[in-house]
Amino acid sequence: MRGKFIVIEGIDGCGKTTQVDTIYDWLPNSGLMDINSKLIKTREPGGTPFGKKLRDIILLNDQKSPPSNLTELLLYAADRAEHISKIITPELNKNNWVISDRFTGSTMAYQGYGRNLNRKIIKQLELIVCQGEKPDITFFLDISPEESILRRKNRVPDRIEAEGINFLKNVNLGFKEIAKEKNWEIISASQDVESISNHIKTKLINSCL
């Protein structure tokens, strides 16, 4: 028996963390999981102790010495390699379920469409890093870049958030294309929190994971 791997994706501020928390509270008593299975809540970057250090480096908004785009891609890949080998695969193999705030779709959207790095190379890197591990289901929370920026207006932006609207528009376009290509469940994230949660719960119940 192997657990299930659920991922929530979308641009900054789309409400991923809010939904991961809601589903984390609901899923163990939903009847979907085996009685002895645990649910692991995690995220990228920073889902492991080593990954937390990488997260600090990646997101530090130090305008004097930002990493190159390729360095940034490799740092996200390193974080994911650690995450898969230390958390995701071992937990799934124990028949536990894993819900992650972001996964490979974020790399394709941010580094592929946002930074315009070669998408074939990103796919090759994904093959090396993931070693066959992939989500059972991915939800894409779709909001406009304008709404995303509005939702984050009262906080200090990290290095990626500081990129501005044109970058975010490209990332969002990327997410939309990937969502179609990979048959992700697309949800309008402009709805209220409860409507979005209900959509996710209904899809999980009906998808016979």
Where in 164-193 is the site for ligand Z5A (CB under 6 A)? 189, 192-193
Number of shown-chain residues binding ligand Z5A (CB under 6 A): 27
Interface with ligand Z5A, residue 44, by CB under 6 A: yes
Where in 83-122 is the site for ligand Z5A (CB under 6 A)? 101-102, 106-107, 110-111
Report in angstroms how near the CB of residue 38 gets to ligand Z5A at its nearest.
23
Query: Which residues share a beta bridge with 185?
Result: 139
Q: Please state, in angstroms and rounded to a whole number, the distance separating the CA atoms of residues 102 and 145.
A: 17
Report, in angstroms and rounded to the nearest whole number, the Rg of the chain calculated over CA atoms: 17
One residue of 3, 4, 5, 15 binding ligand Z5A per CB under 6 A: 15
One residue of 3, 40, 48, 76 binding ligand Z5A per CB under 6 A: 76
The angle subtended at Cα 39 by Cα 77 and Cα 54, nearest 5°, is 25
Cβ distance to ligand Z5A smaller for residue 33 or 143: 143
Residue 207 near residue 137, CB atoms below 8 Å: yes
Stretch of residues binding ligand Z5A (CB under 6 A), selected from 23-31, 90-98, 132-140, 157-165: 157-165
Q: Please state, in angstroms and rounded to a whole number, the distance separating the CA atoms of residues 38 and 35.
A: 8
Round to the nearest angstrom and report the end-to-end CA distance of the chain: 12
Report in angstroms how near the CB of residue 70 gets to ligand Z5A at its nearest.
13
Closest CA to 136 of 79, 80, 185: 185
Cβ distance to ligand Z5A smaller for residue 94 or 119: 119
Closest CA to 39 of 90, 93, 98: 98
Report in angstroms how near the CB of residue 52 gets to ligand Z5A at its nearest.
11
Interface with ligand Z5A, residue 82, by CB under 6 A: no
Interface with ligand Z5A, residue 4, by CB under 6 A: no
Name the one residue in this structure whose structure tokens are 């080593």: 50
Q: Please state, in angstroms and rounded to a whole number, the distance separating the CA atoms of residues 98 and 33.
A: 11
Which residues sit at the interface with ligand Z5A, rule CB under 6 A? 10, 12-18, 44-45, 59, 76, 101-102, 106-107, 110-111, 151-152, 158, 160-161, 189, 192-193, 196
